[in-house]
Amino acid sequence: MSVPIARTVSELRGVVAQWRRSGATIGIVPTMGALHDGHLSLVRKALERAERVIVTLFVNPKQFNSPADLIAYPRTESDDAAKLALLGTHLLYVPDTEEMYQVGFATGVDRDHRYLPTSQQEVLEKAAEFGIRGGLTMSMHDHRGRFAALTFASNEAHPPFLRSLTRYEKAMQLVAINVHIHARRRLAEDCVVDGITLTRREFECLKWAACGKSAWDISQILGVSKRTVTFHQENAKAKLGVRTINQAVVRMAARARS
């Protein structure tokens, strides 16, 4: 028993078209090969939920910063195919780099595509009402779980600038990250430190402490008692989970740099 293998986009589309005409549900499990138990568990889950399952095997060069790492990555197509055959996988898609990244390659969504969910169609149709018919969106995620996106939009479905953007993908990713950092500084709440919201007075007391002012100095600047300043500083320390004002100031300084 062996699993059928497709190596070109046209072969893949031909098989998928047949399945769709029969009304079959299709599941896809993308991998870079060298399959282990984790991959196989995903394939089993897909087989439980879909009538036809495709596993892709493509060692994507864009996933590697070092050419040496790309060369060293294990290629085990025969072993992978044998494992997938035992599970009953319906198709293994194994393209090469030239097939995946053809001349003029760009990813996107056709807003008239009949297979899009209604919710996605509504979003794209609404965008078209405002003259947005094509473009590129770059997503960003940070270590705190926050995310954002930078979009280059056009009134054309396939704008010419897409080719330049995809050619300089890594540079544009850096641009997107820097735009996001500056936008967040402009739009974020003034009194948020490391995702923790302080009161306006707590924030002011920390800000002046960061300038080297003592509790007495801050009381004179804000026109409150020294005891009130200490009260707000203690609250800020408790919220930030630190023991000293200096530690709280460091957290605030990190906020300014992020």
Per residue in 179-199, pLDDT (tens digit) is 777 776 666 556 777 778 888
Q: What pLDDT is attached to residue 130?
A: 83
Mean pLDDT of 198-202: 86
Residue 162 predicted with pLDDT over 60: yes
Would you say the CATH fold of 192-257 matches that of 5-100?
Answer: no
Least-confidence region, from 51-60, 65-74, 135-144: 135-144
**Strand-by-strand arrangement of the 52-57 sheet:** 5-6, 91-93, 52-57, 26-31
Which among 108, 96, 102, 105 has a CA at the least distance from the CA of 57? 96
pLDDT score, position 191: 74
Higher model confidence: residue 37 or residue 127? Answer: 37
Residue 53: the pLDDT is: 96
Position 116 scores a pLDDT of: 65
Question: What number is the average pLDDT over the span 12-25?
Answer: 92
Over residues 120-141, the pLDDT tens digits come to 778 777 887 888 877 877 777 6
pLDDT for the residue numbered 48:
95
CA of residue 152 relative to chain centroid, distance: 17
Greater confidence (195 vs 247) lies with: 247
**Is it the case that residue 253 has pLDDT exceeding 80?**
no
- Which CATH entry fits the domain spanning 192-257: 1.10.10.10, 3.40.640.10, 3.40.50.10310, 1.10.1060.10? 1.10.10.10
Mean pLDDT across 191-218: 87
Q: In the chain, what are the domain boundaries?
A: 5-100, 118-187, 192-257
pLDDT score for 228: 93
> Does residue 113 carry a pLDDT above 60?
no
Give residues with Cβ within 8 angstroms of 236, minimum separation 6: 198, 202, 203, 205, 206, 248
Q: What is the CATH number of domain 5-100?
A: 3.40.50.620
